[in-house]
Amino acid sequence: MQKGLLIVISAPSGSGKSTVREELMRRENFAYSVSATTRPPRAGEVNGVDYWFVTREQFEEKIKNGDMLEHAIYNGNYYGTPLREALRVVESGRNLLLEIEVEGAMNIKRQYPEAVLIMLLPPSFSEQERRLRSRGTETDEVIAGRLKQTYEEMTYFDRYDYFVVNETVDKCADDIQDIVHAEKWAVKRHLEVPSTYFEA
């Protein structure tokens, strides 16, 4: 059986990534990897759904025990992908979606060169700024920080396999589906011509 794909999506804040993820999950039978983090839950976030919220000590214990597929520090907090569940899903043939920042994505690519790395971008910096402001929840200082972070994240652009621009959620989900479907038929993922080809 063909293994599932490890699909890594990285996106600056304000690129609309959670909406895109929800749309993708609605369309495809992807599994989603719930990350562990030491950042406190935001209003409405649920443990085990949005993240596994853990203490710093618990997180460091997981790293020590080799329980994380990858991890990174982002804005002073740990974030990481639990190893066991990710491997179980991929081995079962199901595609797994990870939504992680750039350092974690690089980590994954080093360990699993067959992972598919997709950078999701807002249509432009000005549109991203508009989206961040329209949330109405963040101060000017936080918004400026997010935009600066985006410039830094975009320096990783050429290390990704694909990029997708989020003009509209539908179009963006279409593009990601196209990538995933094409990847399934990449010659590099098949060690030989499928045996059914030679049947009479």
Does position 79 bind ligand 5GP by CB under 6 A?
Answer: yes
Amino acid at site 27: R
Pairing type for strands 52-53 and 6-10 reads unpaired
What residues pair up with 36 in beta bridges, in sequence order?
A: 52, 80
Q: Check binding of 53 to ligand 5GP (CB under 6 A).
A: no
The least CB distance from residue 200 to ligand 5GP, in Å, is 49
Which is closer to ligand 5GP, CB of 72 or CB of 179? 72
39 binds ligand 5GP (CB under 6 A): yes
Confirm if 20 and 7 have CB atoms less than 8 A apart: no
Q: How many of the chain's residues bind ligand 5GP (CB under 6 A)? A: 13
Rounded Cα distance between 101 and 21, Å, is 15
Stretch of 94-102, 123-131, 176-184, 186-194 contacting ligand 5GP, by CB under 6 A: 94-102
> Cβ of residue 199: shortest distance to ligand 5GP, in angstroms?
43
In the beta sheet, which residues pair with residue 32?
97
Dist. CA 91–CA 74, nearest whole Å:
29
Q: Does 81 bind ligand 5GP (CB under 6 A)?
A: yes
- Please choose, from the candidates 114, 118, 150, 158, the residue with its C-alpha nearest in 3D space to the C-alpha of residue 132: 150
Write out the residues near ligand 5GP by the rule CB under 6 A. Answer: 35, 39, 70, 72, 74, 79-81, 99-101, 103-104
